Amino acid sequence: MRAGLVSADTVLRRDYMNIELLAPAGNLEKLKMAIIYGADAVYLAGPRYGLRAGAGNFTFDEMKEGIQFAHERNRKVYVTMNILPHNEDFEGMDEYITQISEFGADAVIVSDLGVLSLVREVNPSIPVHISTQANVTNYKCAMEYRKLGASRIIAARELSLSELSLIHKKVPDIELEAFVHGSMCISYSGRCLLSSFMCGRDANRGDCAQSCRWKYYLMEEKRPGEYYPVIEDEKGTFIFNSKDLCMIEHIPELIGAGITSFKIEGRMKSSFYVSTVVRAYRMALDAYLRDPENYGFRQEWLEEVSKVSHRSFTTGFFFGKPGSEGQNYGTSSYIQSHEFAGIVLEYDENGKKMLVEQRNKIFAGDEVEIMQPDGKDIRFEITGMRDIEGNPIDSTPHPQMRYYADVPEPVMPYSIIRKKIQ
């Protein structure tokens, strides 16, 4: 670190009522950002056996570093092994389990009974979480997984709050985790067959092509070669165009149903997405857990999660089976009000300047907002831009270039610079 520069990357952990905020970690940077912005735990995939082959995932060295980073801050790391394996997938799996155990993984996430059995054989002490891919939709199923040694159920996405509450009542000694925010699959609990059928890429083995998000045309069998566009109007192609789940307005109801881990989807999303969504849910959770009786939802939390790329929001199945309101009819496009401009690496308290790593082009004179891990935002105009050698510049044209800029008050490292999209 350069002389005169200070760095601080720790935000105090909130520990209330054993309610866990669980965030996605698609790579090492996203892991660090999730933790810095308030996640109690993260979930990630190593080089094998995870369901997001396109997420970047972790090498063993990165996984070791990430787990160490988390544990130094009293946070947890869960490793996904939730593919639906074929025979050949078990080759070397015992060594893999041994390796992640030695790194200190706090739990493994599985969906297959064979994988569950092997984990229990190799390391009986490591907690096992049952993936949403296992489609646990009832308390009897949860009971059986508990008997097999599972400590947590990640509920099927099709469950209502009343169904979740009954599972919690019937099986109180198993933890209950549920998705509360993010993209929704069109297939039952995400067990998609479209990608495998159309592309030869097995979504259930981590290689989803997201074919449900493509544009489609219709062809009638007696008119080969005549293609008709599938139009999204008031009747829409809704089966291929689910809204995004958002439950930030319903914290009390989720806790009341017995959910102890609030899971955010998005291992393939950006650091900007992860940081913004985690921070918003952190603030909402903290506000409720500090004073449940006087809790009131703040519209600004919903506005925060709306600043990142998303589709229109839905509450999914939590309040019953969604009808047409759970689907998009107008467009398949994403909504985003702000773009990710950069990450603050360091703050110079003497020169009142910050060192930034660029993520999108920014110009001198741009109005920006700095989003800080502690919840305090700063709005100002970019001035005093200089490159890493100290030469004046008026823009940041090079991807991930580092530059200096003036800032009117101290900022925390890991703060995010975002700019409103015009």
Contact 153, 174 (CB under 8 A): yes
Structural domain ending residue among the three candidates 291, 326, 361: 326
The whole-number average pLDDT for the span 39-63 is 82
- The reply to whether 379 falls in a domain is yes
| Same domain assignment for residues 140 and 54 | yes
Task: State residue 237's pLDDT score.
Answer: 43
In this structure, the answer to whether residues 269 and 405 fall within a common structural domain is: no
pTM above 0.85, yes or no: no
Q: Domain tally for the chain? A: 2
Say yes or no: 313 and 353 in one domain. Answer: no
Q: How confident is the model at residue 195 (pLDDT cuts 50, 70, 90)?
A: low
Amino acid making up residue 48: R
For the domain that residue 116 is a member of, what is the CATH number?
Answer: 3.20.20.70
Residue 281 CA to its chain's centroid (Å): 12
Owner of token pair 């996640």: 39
Q: Could you say which of 304, 326, 348 is where a domain stops?
A: 326
- CB neighbourhood size of 90 (10 A): 13
Lowest mean pLDDT among 191-195, 283-287, 378-382, 384-388: 191-195
Q: Report whether pLDDT(5) > 50.
A: no
Report for 44-48, 213-217, 413-417: range of highest mean pLDDT? 413-417
Residue 336: the pLDDT is 83
Q: Which two tokens stand for residue 114?
A: 């064979």
312 DSSP 8-state letter: P
319 and 405 in a single domain? The answer is no
Do 344 and 322 have their domain in common?
Answer: no
What angle do the packed helices 93-103 and 60-72 form, to 10 degrees? Answer: 30
Q: Determine the Cα angle at 417 with ends 27 and 55, to 5°.
A: 20
Q: Which domain holds residue 405?
A: 338-420
Residues 48, 175 within the same domain: yes
Of 326, 351, 369, the last residue of a domain is 326
- Got the DSSP string for 37-86? TT-SEEEEE-SSS-S-GGG----HHHHHHHHHHHHHTT-EEEEEE-----
Whether residues 29 and 165 share a domain: the answer is yes
Q: What is the pLDDT of residue 311?
A: 78
Does residue 189 surpass a pLDDT of 70? no
Task: Tell me: do 101 and 127 sit in the same domain.
Answer: yes
Residue 220 within any structural domain of the chain = no
Do 321 and 342 belong to one domain? no
> Of 421, 326, 327, nearest to 366 (Cα)?
421
Looking at the fold, whether 41 and 150 belong to one and the same domain comes out as yes
Mean pLDDT score, 400-409: 96
